[in-house]
Structure 1
């Protein structure tokens, strides 16, 4: 069966599931694409399963399935993804928010548990803004700044902050890490590029071909961004306020190296947090 105007919603789901299964792709991707492309809720798919998808629906779903079979991630096809229970639009210049990064949000909140605290937050390499927006959603009196070198990412981050109700407490600026900013922050967070240059060519096509290269490339050893950020914060004029915290997401085998870099620059190591897979995922430092 091919998709035509008279194809019902349930037939479209079966067709999508079969097509993707033949390509070794999970059933969940088929359901996600059908719901998103046809603009349906799960209830509408069940109760209105015998409704035809129409010519526009057939064309749009056929295109989406072809893109998925060609290796494009679902998130890129639909242009959005969920993080911390919140919706985030994507741009070509932004990474797809990943569950591992929620470990960074959780660790940051754990270091500043007072929900009423007027935290000053800095998110370096903000991308879609998912980290900063998630933190602001949990701390109603906090204000944050997201920095990124990509104007496209910043436009998307501003849109996401507004869509998630924190736009009035978030500012986004174009900058090369901390360059041009002069302030003290209670919380500095970053998920910087950390893939070693020589490893990028070996990454799965879904990452290598569809994620922005600038958000992956961490230099020869994957640690260039950590060195730069730690140097910037250690020297100022961006700095940690008294009692402040600096937290990084790190690659699965980079925690000890990043801890060493921080200690060498005078920061106090404040712990490592592991993700759900057991990998050392977040490195925290306290103010000197």
Structure 2
């Protein structure tokens, strides 16, 4: 059996688990070969299947996320290490970075804050975009900060990114942070009783997902604190669930913000830009 045939068989095996079975099989094969997916498709499809591929397919068949199996996820052109201690960065979250790029089209933010940084995805993407900015990433998880630190070091941002263990639900957590031109945050926003794919509910950290019966608990904590963290003329950009534009927008206005909606590539509400 060739690699191409093995991929087809694996895609059939994964069809009951994943809506992207063929892509999953290709990514797992590329990982096993130590090649990119493009290299796999161009150069290796007629070769002999490598040892270890079948075991990875079985892990995916058990709903383990591809990013956890490979240990990596691309975000805004950056190759990020991912572990079960962090939320897997998703392309929808790039909406926040694009909103920041548009808002700062004619200037560069001097300081960037990413609250709940996880892998460091939003912070490092912003630092890659704004090449003179300094950044701070906070997280309540020490294990997540270790991942973010490794990503910052490997991608060359360690000198520009301070990573701090902070819990925004604790009094005084931001007292020494100062102010920022750009504040980014992808907070937990899933309702506690929401139905999630097993690859998410069973494998990603609940503390990064769930936020009370309406998915709004963390917004209620964060929004009243944001103004003190922002410079005059600065912006805060928060990710939201696709049905949360109205309730989060209302909470933002109660805290004195003007809120502008930003949609992801699928046209769904994805972020609020607050000024």
Partner-residue secondary structure (3-state), 2:212: coil
Question: For 1:76 and 1:88, how far apart are their aligned partners in 2?
Answer: 11
CA contact (8 A) 2:191 2:212 kept: yes
Question: For 1:24 and 1:196, how far apart are their aligned partners in 2?
Answer: 23
Question: For 2:163 and 2:11, how far apart are their aligned partners in 1?
Answer: 40
Q: Paired residue for 2:198?
A: 205
CA-CA distance at 1:47 after TM superposition? 3.5
Matched, 1:15 2:26: no
Q: Paired residue for 1:149?
A: 140
CA-CA distance at 1:19 after TM superposition? 2.6
Partner-residue secondary structure (3-state), 2:211: coil
Partner-residue secondary structure (3-state), 1:64: helix
Aligned residues: 269
Q: 1:263 to 1:18 in 2, by over 3 A?
A: closer
Q: 1:146 to 1:181 in 2, by over 3 A?
A: farther
Match of 1:271 among 257, 260, 265: 260
Q: TM-score with structure 2 length normalisation?
A: 0.90
Matched, 1:113 2:105: yes
Q: 1:112 to 1:221 in 2, by over 3 A?
A: same
CA-CA distance at 1:219 after TM superposition? 1.2
Q: 1:43 to 1:171 in 2, by over 3 A?
A: same
Q: Paired residue for 1:3?
A: none
Matched, 1:176 2:170: no
CA-CA distance at 1:16 after TM superposition? 2.3
Query: Deviation string for 1:147-201 (max 9, x for gaps)?
Result: 00011110111111222222211110000027144301101110000011122xx
Q: Paired residue for 1:65?
A: 57
CA-CA distance at 1:121 after TM superposition? 0.6
Q: 1:24 to 1:87 in 2, by over 3 A?
A: closer
Q: TM-score with structure 1 length normalisation?
A: 0.87
Partner-residue secondary structure (3-state), 1:198: coil
The gaps in structure 2 that reach 5 residues or longer are none
Root-mean-square deviation (CA), in Å? 1.9
Question: Which deviates further from its counterpart, 275-284 or 129-138?
Answer: 275-284
CA-CA distance at 1:45 after TM superposition? 5.8
Question: How do 1:1-288 and structure 2 match up within 5 A?
Answer: 8-21=2-15, 25=19, 26-41=21-36, 42-43=38-39, 46-53=42-49, 57-58=50-51, 60-114=52-106, 117-177=108-168, 179-182=173-176, 183-199=178-194, 202-234=195-227, 236=228, 239-267=229-257, 269-286=258-275
Question: For 2:41 and 2:263, how far apart are their aligned partners in 1?
Answer: 38
CA contact (8 A) 1:9 1:45 kept: no
Q: 1:48 to 1:192 in 2, by over 3 A?
A: closer
Question: For 2:239 and 2:40, how far apart are their aligned partners in 1?
Answer: 39
CA-CA distance at 1:62 after TM superposition? 1.6
Query: Deviation string for 1:181-240 (max 9, x for gaps)?
Result: 4301101110000011122xx111111111110001111221111111112224x4xx21
Partner-residue secondary structure (3-state), 1:197: coil
CA contact (8 A) 1:247 1:285 kept: yes
Question: For 1:169 and 1:155, how far apart are their aligned partners in 2?
Answer: 16
CA-CA distance at 1:257 after TM superposition? 1.2
CA contact (8 A) 1:188 1:246 kept: yes
The gaps in structure 1 that reach 5 residues or longer are 1-6
Question: Which deviates further from its counterpart, 82-91 or 11-20?
Answer: 11-20
Q: 1:69 to 1:168 in 2, by over 3 A?
A: same
